[in-house]
Amino acid sequence: MTNPERRTLEPWQDPKAAPYVRIDHVTKKFDDVYAVDDVSLDIFQGEFFSLLGSSGCGKSTLLRMLAGLERPTTGRIYIDGADVTDLPAYSRPVNMMFQSYALFPHMTVEQNVEFGLKQDRMPRKERAERVGEMLGLLQIGELRKRKPDQLSGGQRQRAALARTLAKHPKLLLLDEPLGALDKRLRESAQFELVNLQERLGITFVTVTHDQEEAMTMSTRIAVMNAGQILQVDTPTTIYEYPEYRFVADFIGLVNLFDGRVAEIQDDRVLVETQLGRRLHMRCSHPHAIGTPVTVAIRPEKLQICQTYREDGVNQVKGVVEDIAYLGDVSIYRVRVSPELLVEMTLTNIQPRTEQALTWGQEVAMEWSPTSGVVLTE
């Protein structure tokens, strides 16, 4: 944490760094519904920040408030130190890429890109240069005379991106930027978007419901649910050390065991669960005996246990019920008790046909006390 290089890469670790965007106790009510409920958030210069959540969690409303398309019911929004809460969209130093791209259908790609520059009364010559620069940057120079309905989905996304980048905004908002692309295109577009962001040094704030997309692109992720931000962290921390049951469940696959704290041994907590045995977990927070908790373990943290013992640490036995073969890995769903299935992911080192584990087979599994988390909420 004291490493200065890390501080520049992770400005949120630096207590002296000033946030570029500060969202201060913002609430947005539509009639009686809280779309965004008392959210505070700092986003730093040069970040690729993702708001992640399922539909209706308030992530898009938060983004629209940053753009100036919605006005917060209460709370303030600061961009680059200035209070922009009451500033209309057209005078904010922010540009947004819409989920539908919102390209003007009666204008060519070139005219679309030029639109924002014209609003700034940029001289014609400079304008033409900037348009050329943007079309080149996104490699859509040959499409400049086309209308949006003559473009493919991927080309439209590039045109929309060129239009939002044309004004050289300091902050770019992206509402589901890859949502309308098919899976293959999405993967390459993810990398391209990150490269673009790094090259231009613009702060990106994106909204997405796709956890994979958020994981690969972001410097930090804010997981939202029911109008509130649950956790803000780097993708790794969010995945490995979720703080809430919702976060653990929303991102990736996870096995959740409900139980109660039975015993504390040094930095370990022993949890009595419905598995019928105590799970040993490392835990940084002290818990009172009897507190209801949930133990969360990712399926890939489970291993096949070679030396199963009835009193072994974090060992369970069950019968393989389902196998999902994904090529690189297989997910095994193992029934450990009549009402409990445990998921285990194993890398397919051997070809599928030569694997030992098959349906109906009994298997013992184990995991290390350090490879999961104990959640209280």
Partner 1 sequence: MVFMTKHHLHDRHLSRALNIGTPYLWLGLFFLLPFAIVLHISMAETALAQPPYTDLMSWVDDGVLQIKLNLQNFVTVFTDELYLAAFLNSLWIALVCTVLCLLIGYPMAYAIATSPERRRVILLMLIILPFWTSFLIRVYAWIGILKPNGLLNNFLMWLGLIHEPLTILHTQTAIYIGVVYSYLPFMILPLFANLTRLDFSLLEAAADLGCRPFKAFLKVTLPLSLPGIVAGSMLVFIPVVGEFVIPDLLGGPDSLMIGKMLWTEFFGNKDWPLAAALAICLLGLLVVPFVFMQRLESRMGGDEL
Nearest one of 256, 301, 289, 300 to 275, comparing CA atoms: 256
- The answer to whether residue 225 forms part of the interface with partner 1 (CB under 8 A) is no
Stretch binding partner 1 (CB under 8 A), from 65-73, 213-221, 253-261, 289-297: 65-73
When the beta carbons of 151 and 238 are compared against partner 1, the nearer one is 151
Rg over CA atoms, the chain? 25
Per-residue tokens: 157: 């996304």
When the beta carbons of 144 and 163 are compared against partner 1, the nearer one is 163
- The answer to whether residue 88 forms part of the interface with partner 1 (CB under 8 A) is yes
- The answer to whether residue 9 forms part of the interface with partner 1 (CB under 8 A) is no
When the beta carbons of 98 and 308 are compared against partner 1, the nearer one is 98
- The answer to whether residue 186 forms part of the interface with partner 1 (CB under 8 A) is no
CB of 265 to partner 1, least distance (A): 57
- The answer to whether residue 105 forms part of the interface with partner 1 (CB under 8 A) is yes
* Spatial distance between the Cα atoms of 162 and 143, rounded to a whole number of angstroms: 12
**Tally of CA atoms within 13 A in the half-sphere of 92 that contains its CB:** 28
Stretch binding partner 1 (CB under 8 A), from 54-62, 102-110, 136-144, 242-250: 102-110
Per-residue tokens: 289: 């005996």
Where do we find the tokens 């009402």?
A: 339
- The answer to whether residue 188 forms part of the interface with partner 1 (CB under 8 A) is no
- The answer to whether residue 185 forms part of the interface with partner 1 (CB under 8 A) is no
CB of 165 to partner 1, least distance (A): 11
- The answer to whether residue 69 forms part of the interface with partner 1 (CB under 8 A) is yes
When the beta carbons of 88 and 292 are compared against partner 1, the nearer one is 88
Q: Which amino acid is at 325?
A: Y
Asked if 118 contacts 112 with a C-beta cutoff of 8 angstroms, the reply is no
- The answer to whether residue 87 forms part of the interface with partner 1 (CB under 8 A) is no
CB of 93 to partner 1, least distance (A): 10
DSSP 48: E
- The answer to whether residue 259 forms part of the interface with partner 1 (CB under 8 A) is no
* Spatial distance between the Cα atoms of 162 and 136, rounded to a whole number of angstroms: 9
- The answer to whether residue 82 forms part of the interface with partner 1 (CB under 8 A) is no
- The answer to whether residue 72 forms part of the interface with partner 1 (CB under 8 A) is no
Nearest one of 376, 58, 74, 70 to 226, comparing CA atoms: 58
CB of 91 to partner 1, least distance (A): 7
When the beta carbons of 61 and 314 are compared against partner 1, the nearer one is 61
Asked if 28 contacts 72 with a C-beta cutoff of 8 angstroms, the reply is yes
What residues contact residue 183 under an 8 Å CB cut-off, 6+ apart? none
Size of the site for partner 1 (CB under 8 A): 24
CA quadruple 140, 141, 144, 150: dihedral sign: negative
SS3 assignment, position 244:
coil
Per-residue tokens: 206: 């994106």
Q: Site residues for partner 1, window 111-130 (CB under 8 A)?
A: 115-116, 119-120
Q: At what angle are helices 183-200 and 153-165 packed, to 10 degrees?
A: 20
When the beta carbons of 116 and 299 are compared against partner 1, the nearer one is 116
When the beta carbons of 72 and 116 are compared against partner 1, the nearer one is 116
- The answer to whether residue 94 forms part of the interface with partner 1 (CB under 8 A) is yes
Stretch binding partner 1 (CB under 8 A), from 10-18, 66-74, 79-87, 333-341: 66-74
Q: Is residue 2 packed enough to be buried (19+ CB in 10 Å), middle (13-18) or exposed (0-12)?
A: exposed
* Spatial distance between the Cα atoms of 117 and 163, rounded to a whole number of angstroms: 9
Asked if 231 contacts 373 with a C-beta cutoff of 8 angstroms, the reply is no
When the beta carbons of 51 and 113 are compared against partner 1, the nearer one is 113
- The answer to whether residue 77 forms part of the interface with partner 1 (CB under 8 A) is no
SS3 assignment, position 91:
helix
Q: Which residues pair with 232 in a beta bridge?
A: 222
Stretch binding partner 1 (CB under 8 A), from 8-16, 62-70, 288-296, 340-348: 62-70
Q: Site residues for partner 1, window 264-293 (CB under 8 A)?
A: none
Q: List residues binding partner 1 (CB under 8 A).
A: 67-69, 88-91, 94-96, 98, 100, 102-106, 115-116, 119-120, 163-164, 167
